[in-house]
Amino acid sequence: MNEQEILSRLTATLEARKQAAPETSYVAKLFHKGEDAILKKVGEEATEVILASKEGDAQHLVYEVADLWFHSLVLLAHHGLNADAVLNELARREGVSGIAEKAARPNQP
């Protein structure tokens, strides 16, 4: 199974969960609670990634990054976006200096 298939299935599942009853699904419950609950989960997962990295346990780090990516996908879905939007942005940036790319963004300090 390739990465694109995984992301496509996950995107479809997340879209379906938007319409599901909160008591039937963890993701449906997050969508029902709204953006603040989703943001809280993204923040918690980001913190857990940092802690796992500091522990030096590679498998734990992979587990926590998977959680962070998942909750980031939930956040994107909340905003009507999906992984393709992020992948397209990464493709746009490929081969461009990070310094130059950031300087070209609108409203950058």
pLDDT of residue 99: 74
3-state secondary structure of 74: helix
Rounded Cα–Cα distance for residues 103 and 109 (Å): 9
pLDDT of residue 11: 94
3-state secondary structure of 80: coil
pTM, 2 dp: 0.86
pLDDT of residue 92: 87
pLDDT of residue 108: 59
Rounded Cα–Cα distance for residues 84 and 87 (Å): 5
Under 8 Å between Cβ of 50 and 68: no
Residue among 64, 61, 83 at smallest CA distance from 15: 83
DSSP letters for 34-94: -HHHHHHHHHHHHHHHHHHHHHT-HHHHHHHHHHHHHHHHHHHHHTT--HHHHHHHHHHHT
The stretches in the chain having pLDDT less than 50 are none
